Amino acid sequence: MQITILGGGGFLGQKLARRLAQDGAVGGRRITGLTLFDLHAPPVPMAPFPVKALGGDVADPADMAIAIPRGTDAVVHLAAVVSAQAEADFDLGLRVNVHGTLAVLAACRALRKPPRVVFTSSVASFDGGQEARLDDDARQLPGNSYGAEKAIGELLLQDASRRGFLDAVNIRLPTVIIRPGRPNKAASSFVSAILREPLLGLETTLPVPEEFAVWICSPRRAIDWFLHALAMDTAPLGLDRGVNPPGRSATVGKMLSALETVAGPAARALVKHAPDPAIEAIVGDWPASFTAARARNLLGFSEQESLEEIVQGFIEDDLAATRAERGI
C-alpha cells in the first residue's frame, strides 16, 4: 500500500507518519511506501518501508503529480491554511484550500486506480453557535471563509467519488487539542493554549468566557479516525461522504477544571481572561455539539477520551518535545 500525506510536516501529519511507520500496515494491508509533502520537506520517521519527503505547493498541479505518483493507493489531505489566516487573507485561503484541493483531485484522476482520499474538513464548515446540537444531516452554512473553503472541498471530493475518480472520506474534525509546539493562526488556537501553556509553566490569555463550549477531539483520537478512514468500507457512506466523528462538547471551564485535576490549581491560575471580540466572532458561529450518530453506530469511528485523559495524553506524548522546541 502506497500512501501520501499532504501537509505531512504539520503536527497531525507527523503523528500520522510516525504511527504508520510504527504499525507498518493499515487495515491488514502492508505499507510499501510513504510520501510526506508540505511547503518544506517534512522530517522523515524511521520506518520498515521507504519514506520520501518533498517540499512544494499543494496548489501546483506539477507538484501534486510528483507527490501523488502512479501507484498511490491512498492520500491523506491535511494541507490547509487555517481559520483566522484564511479569514485575514481571502486570496491565500482560496489558493491553498480550494485550488489546492482541485490540484489534488486532478492528480488523483491521473492514477491507474482510484485512490482512497481522506480529507480533513472541519466543524467550521457549519453554523449554529453555542446552542446548536447538529444531527448528521444538518446543512453546512459556514460563517467564515475557512469553513466555506472546506465545504467546497467536500463537495468536490464527494462528486469525484460519485464519478469514480477517487474514494473519499471527508472527516469534519472538531477542534483538536492539545496541539504541541507554539500557538498558530487558527482562531481556535487558544483552546490548546489554555491547557498547553500552563503545563509549560507559562501564562496565557483566554479570549472567551469560561462558559463558552467547543466541540473537541484529542490528537490520539484524530489519528485513530484517519487510520479507520483509510481502511473502512465506504459503501455505507453512499453519496454522502461527509463524516461528523464522535468528538466531545466541553466548556472552557470544564477544560480548565480537567487541567487543575491533572496539574494542580497553580496551572489553572496561569490562565488570564482577556476578551478578544475578533476571535469570539469567528469561533462563536461554530456549533458546540454534534450527535455523530452515523459515525458511532454505522461507520465504526471510535469515541473520544475524557478531558483528563486528553490532558494526560499531551503530557505523555508531547510535553517534553514542546519544552525542547521552545527552549523551556
| Residues contacting residue 78 through CB under 8 Å, at least 6 positions apart | 5, 6, 7, 8, 10, 12, 13, 16, 120
Spatial separation of the C-alpha atoms in residues 13 and 162, rounded to whole Å: 27
How many beta carbons lie within 10 A of that of residue 226, not counting itself?
25
> Which of 146, 226, 286, 290 is the catalytic position?
146
Contact by Cβ (8 Å): 201, 266: no
**What are 248's strand-pairing partners?**
216
Q: Is the peptide bond before 31 cis (omega within 30 degrees of 0)?
A: no
41 CB burial (10 A radius; 0-12, 13-18, 19+): middle
Task: Check if 18 is active-site.
Answer: no
Separation CA 261–CA 271 (nearest Å): 15
Active site residues: 146
